[in-house]
Copies of this chain bind each other. A is one copy, B any other.
């Protein structure tokens, strides 16, 4: 089947052109959404991808379709990372692995959502379901590590968002400095350990996975008119 289709050289060339084009649009969309928020003009995405606005709309008729496609792969990665963390028989190691992997993803791929669940509306039932599952899994991971006495009892699930958003800010400021990123992650993980608790913490944030900004620059997004 593979061999047969590759023998039809013309069609194959067209297909891989189309694929490359689509990939280029998705890469551009992630970069633009990361910089300007998901309300960034479609025209900006088209320009960055080097395709016409008409081509962009032909492939992705709505902004929503583009957003979903752009982050589909990352949603999958997040689900995999969470599943692996939960599968770890050592509750602390599972929790640590989640934080380290999420930060590694932020470091290696700028434009990766600031947190594990993107802030765009639940456009599909499928997406709402994935998010609910992610929330439940994160909660399990936290409770399990606390029950084992490894994660401090006053750790609040919103602290995960605090950690990921701070780290995202650091790698945005210093995209080349892996040492700084690793150092921050190590400090945070040590401060999350039960035996490191050396005093009470101020009250936790009201942040939840539901109201996280997608990127560190979302506050400016209203400054960009829609295309």
Which of A17-25, A133-141, A171-179 contacts its partner?
Answer: A171-179
Tell me, in angstroms, the Cα distance from A167 to B213 when the chains sit together. 16
A195: contacting residue among B169, B182, B198, B207, CB under 8 A: B198
Q: How many identical chains are in the complex?
A: 2
Contact residues in B for A158 (Cβ distance below 8 Å):
180, 183
Tell me, in angstroms, the Cα distance from A35 to B216 when the chains sit together. 12
Q: Which residue of B lies closest to A201 (CB)?
A: B186
Q: Is the CB of A179 within 8 A of B191?
A: no
Q: Is the CB of B169 within 8 A of A162?
A: no
A191-210: CB near B (< 8 Å → 1, else 0) gives 11101111101111111000
Q: Is the CB of B207 within 8 A of A35?
A: no
A104 near B: Cβ within 8 Å?
no
Q: Is the CB of A216 within 8 A of B216?
A: yes
Q: Is the CB of A170 within 8 A of B173?
A: no
Q: Is the CB of A177 within 8 A of B217?
A: no
Contact residues in B for A207 (Cβ distance below 8 Å):
174, 177, 180
Instruction: Knowing that A165-B173, A166-B167, A182-B202 touch, tell me 7 more A-B residue pairs with CB under 8 angstroms.
Output: A162-B180, A162-B184, A163-B184, A174-B207, A174-B213, A180-B207, A190-B201
